[in-house]
């Protein structure tokens, strides 16, 4: 089933309801949203984009991004969304790797991409794009479960990004799990795009389209906490996906402004570790608005969830919750702690033209996530770390996350990241990169009071900020490089 059918149906059912907004300004109701997307589909076909062909989208968040998604899908083609913060050369590499035949860009990026990539580029803010969204539309081209709709390029914390093959069936499964496991959606709600549409926030568009909710795109196209708070207040029932670092920034801005986030219905957080001290502070300030999810491009947004009630009740806050309805979850070898494996309808069938990586990731029908976790008797999964981040010191496993959780309880620490440094004596030593005012002696004493001696960092490196990728994930590979 082509995902674009959901938009075509919503155009009938919710024709005059607001669909797309740029800031507070309405851009299209559902009838207009579908009309533009279906015309774009026809225009893409007229330019030679055929079934299964790839079309790149390199843009900041904007309403046109959603028109592009649905136009590409309706045409039977495959969207290749690229994070707008990538360098034009990196974007061009993705375009080359995916074999995209056309790029749709925001104005600011169209010029730089045109000089780096060898495909025609259409500026989504131009009269040319507007014309493509007018005229005769077409009905969604027939697509099957296993047909591709999205090539999702991993954020690449190590090496070159890999293209996850996301199908219409995967997005449908992940979307239908959302109201069951994450949050109900009604036509009165709005999806607020605070995080990049090229990633999980974009994936959440589908269920909001099906339910006829509004799509609220900040005019800045980026994450500005003050703008998010103001937009949400104006709308009244906004839901958004935020990475943990964004929750922290939103909280700081809200506290500074004395704003309790009245217009925010739900904040879904995930994509990286949320420390217990941070989520507790966010709950104290904003109230029961939070749901956690754990997923990865290979099983988008859809491995586990920790419900609103659980988060609000401070139940298993250090965990990532329990398996979502549409997946099975297991630990490799049936152990209590080990590599997390997942299988089910939202799991990918492989990477784009990368059989070696596919073979590594998919074993006996399971996706090997590369994350290490602990599954308890009640089904709660606690992520301990990426398997490659595990520190082995003196033959004992040390999970950096555990050390980070403790250090973050120190009032003078803002951010911390713990890695292993090669050591002739111990195999690896624990080293903590710290943003904050505390000194090493005080931190050492604090660790002695709160954790096993062998887990204690041997060294502290004080830094003004931690290196992060475009999705706000700490780049441990970069920290390791600094140490060596």
Instruction: Considering the complex, state which of residue 45 and residue 296 has its C-beta at the smaller distance from ligand AMP.
Output: 296
- CA torsion sign for 400, 86, 243, 446 is positive
Instruction: Considering the complex, state which of residue 42 and residue 384 has its C-beta at the smaller distance from ligand AMP.
Output: 384
Instruction: Considering the complex, state which of residue 38 and residue 369 has its C-beta at the smaller distance from ligand AMP.
Output: 369
Instruction: Considering the complex, state which of residue 225 and residue 297 has its C-beta at the smaller distance from ligand AMP.
Output: 297
Rounded Cα distance between 338 and 413, Å, is: 30
Cβ neighbours of residue 272 under 8 Å, at least 6 residues apart? 243, 244, 245, 471, 472, 473, 474
Instruction: Considering the complex, state which of residue 271 and residue 420 has its C-beta at the smaller distance from ligand AMP.
Output: 271
Cβ neighbours of residue 163 under 8 Å, at least 6 residues apart? 80, 94, 97, 98, 151, 152, 153, 351, 352, 353, 354
Instruction: Considering the complex, state which of residue 263 and residue 346 has its C-beta at the smaller distance from ligand AMP.
Output: 346
Q: How far is the CB of 38 from ligand AMP (least distance, A)?
A: 30
- CA torsion sign for 130, 153, 472, 338 is positive
Backbone angles phi, psi at 226, to 5 degrees: -65, -40
**CB-CB contact of 81 with 57 (8 Å):** yes
Q: How far is the CB of 473 from ligand AMP (least distance, A)?
A: 7
Rounded Cα distance between 20 and 190, Å, is: 10
Strands 148-153 and 163-167: antiparallel
Q: How far is CA 130 from the centre of its chain?
A: 29
Instruction: Considering the complex, state which of residue 79 and residue 110 has its C-beta at the smaller distance from ligand AMP.
Output: 79
Q: How far is the CB of 260 from ligand AMP (least distance, A)?
A: 24
Q: Rule CB under 6 A: which residues touch ligand AMP?
A: 154-155, 270-273, 292, 294-297, 320, 369, 371, 383, 386
Q: How far is the CB of 392 from ligand AMP (least distance, A)?
A: 19
Instruction: Considering the complex, state which of residue 40 and residue 177 has its C-beta at the smaller distance from ligand AMP.
Output: 177
Q: How far is the CB of 71 from ligand AMP (least distance, A)?
A: 25
Q: If 0-12 CB within 10 Å is exposed, 13-18 middle and 19+ buried, where does residue 67 land?
A: buried
Instruction: Considering the complex, state which of residue 90 and residue 371 has its C-beta at the smaller distance from ligand AMP.
Output: 371
Q: How far is the CB of 404 from ligand AMP (least distance, A)?
A: 11
Instruction: Considering the complex, state which of residue 38 and residue 266 has its C-beta at the smaller distance from ligand AMP.
Output: 266
Rounded Cα distance between 194 and 12, Å, is: 28
Q: How many CA atoms lie within 13 A of 279 on its CB side?
A: 31
Q: How far is the CB of 297 from ligand AMP (least distance, A)?
A: 4
167 forms beta bridges with 148
Instruction: Considering the complex, state which of residue 125 and residue 339 has its C-beta at the smaller distance from ligand AMP.
Output: 339
Distance between start and end Cα atoms, the chain: 51
What are the angstrom distances between the C-alpha of 268 and each of 182, 318, 321, 446?
Answer: 8, 15, 13, 32
Backbone angles phi, psi at 431, to 5 degrees: -130, 135
Q: How far is the CB of 276 from ligand AMP (least distance, A)?
A: 12
Q: How far is the CB of 303 from ligand AMP (least distance, A)?
A: 8
Cβ neighbours of residue 46 under 8 Å, at least 6 residues apart? none
Q: How far is the CB of 57 from ligand AMP (least distance, A)?
A: 17
DSSP string, 316-359: STTS--EE-TTEEEEEGGG-SEEEEEEEETTS-S-BTT-HHHHH
Q: How far is the CB of 84 from ligand AMP (least distance, A)?
A: 16
Give me 406's structure tokens: 């403790």
């Amino acid at each position: 089933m082509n995902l674009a059918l959901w938009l075509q149906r919503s155009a009938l059912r919710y024709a005059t309801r607001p669909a797309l907004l740029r800031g507070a300004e309405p851009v299209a109701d559902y009838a207009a949203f579908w009309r533009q997307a279906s015309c774009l589909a026809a225009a893409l076909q007229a330019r030679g984009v055929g079934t299964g062909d790839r079309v790149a989208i390199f843009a900041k968040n904007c309403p046109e991004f959603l028109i592009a998604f649905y136009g590409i899908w309706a045409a039977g083609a495959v969207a290749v969304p690229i994070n707008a913060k990538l360098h034009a050369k990196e974007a061009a590499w993705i375009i080359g790797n995916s074999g995209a035949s056309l790029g749709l860009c925001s104005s600011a990026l169209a010029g730089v991409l045109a000089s780096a990539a060898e495909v025609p580029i259409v500026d989504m803010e131009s009269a040319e794009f507007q014309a493509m969204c007018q005229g005769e539309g077409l009905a969604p081209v027939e697509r099957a479960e296993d047909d591709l709709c999205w090539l999702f390029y991993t954020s690449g914390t190590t090496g070159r990004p890999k293209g996850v093959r996301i199908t219409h069936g995967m997005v449908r499964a992940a979307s239908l799990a959302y109201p069951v496991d994450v949050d109900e959606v009604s036509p009165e709600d709005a999806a607020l795009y605070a995080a990049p549409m090229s990633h999980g926030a974009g994936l959440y568009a589908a269920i909001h389209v099906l339910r006829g909710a509004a799509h609220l795109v900040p005019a800045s196209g980026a994450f500005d906490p003050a703008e998010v708070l103001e937009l949400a207040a104006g709308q009244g029932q906004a839901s958004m996906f935020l990475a943990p670092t964004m929750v922290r920034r939103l909280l700081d801005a809200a506290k500074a402004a004395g704003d309790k986030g009245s217009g925010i219905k739900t904040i879904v957080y995930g994509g990286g570790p949320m420390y217990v001290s941070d989520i507790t502070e966010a709950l104290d300030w904003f109230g029961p608005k939070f749901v956690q999810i754990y997923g990865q491009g290979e099983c988008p947004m859809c491995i586990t969830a920790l419900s609103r009630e659980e988060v609000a009740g401070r139940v298993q806050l250090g965990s990532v919750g329990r398996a979502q309805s549409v997946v099975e979850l297991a630990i490799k070898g049936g152990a209590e702690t080990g590599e997390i494996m997942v299988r089910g309808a939202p799991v990918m069938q492989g990477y784009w033209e990368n059989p070696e990586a596919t073979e590594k990731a998919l074993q006996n029908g399971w996706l090997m996530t590369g994350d290490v976790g602990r599954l308890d008797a009640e089904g709660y999964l606690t992520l301990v770390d990426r398997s490659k981040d595990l520190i082995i010191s003196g033959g004992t496993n040390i999970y950096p996350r555990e050390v980070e959780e403790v250090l973050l309880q120190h009032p003078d620490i803002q951010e911390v990241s713990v890695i292993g440094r090669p050591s002739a004596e111990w195999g690896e030593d624990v080293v903590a990169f710290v943003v904050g005012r505390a000194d090493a002696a005080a931190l050492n004493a604090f660790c002695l009071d709160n954790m096993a001696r062998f887990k204690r960092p041997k060294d502290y490196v004080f830094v003004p900020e931690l290196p992060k990728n475009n999705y706000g994930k700490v780049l441990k590979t970069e920290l390791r490089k600094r140490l060596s």
